[in-house]
Amino acid sequence: MFRSVGPGMHAVSADVKGFEKVTSARFKVDINENATTNLTVKVEGEAQAIQTEDAETGQVVNGKFIDDLPLINHNIIALTSLSPGVTGMDDQRDATCTGTNFVSNGSRGSIADILTDGASVTNS
């Protein structure tokens, strides 16, 4: 509500960074009138394709990517914590656990594998 708008013809506009400016049609405001107008904002986007063939997840990174990250000693295992859906797992309590100490998107512990140049480095 704008209380200090004088009588006459007016238009309302909205402008936000990243969006196109929208302006209402001109409308008349009389003395002591509660005039209303509408702004229509059209938002468009494209649907993202989802991989639905299997439940595998993975991410490929190159050496430069690893070197540019602020990781202590550029530990490859530490990269897992940067991936979406990955949570830590305390495998110190299970003597039979010899794999990774993280789970990915609800998977069971110790089934993830990390490959370097095609060879497994998970149990190094």
Average pLDDT, the chain: 76
Radius of gyration of the chain (CA): 28
Q: φ, ψ for residue 80 (rounded to 5)?
A: -60, -30
Is the pLDDT at 48 greater than 70, yes or no? yes
Q: What digits encode the pLDDT tens for the residues 92-117?
A: 655 555 555 677 777 776 677 777 77
Q: φ, ψ for residue 123 (rounded to 5)?
A: -100, 30
Q: Are the CB atoms for 112 and 87 separated by under 8 Å?
A: no
Q: Are the CB atoms for 61 and 41 separated by under 8 Å?
A: no
More confidently predicted of 34 and 109: 34
User: Within 10 Å of residue 72's Cβ, how many Cβ atoms?
Assistant: 6
Task: Give the per-residue pLDDT at 109.
Answer: 67
Task: Give the per-residue pLDDT at 9.
Answer: 92
Task: Give the per-residue pLDDT at 1.
Answer: 66
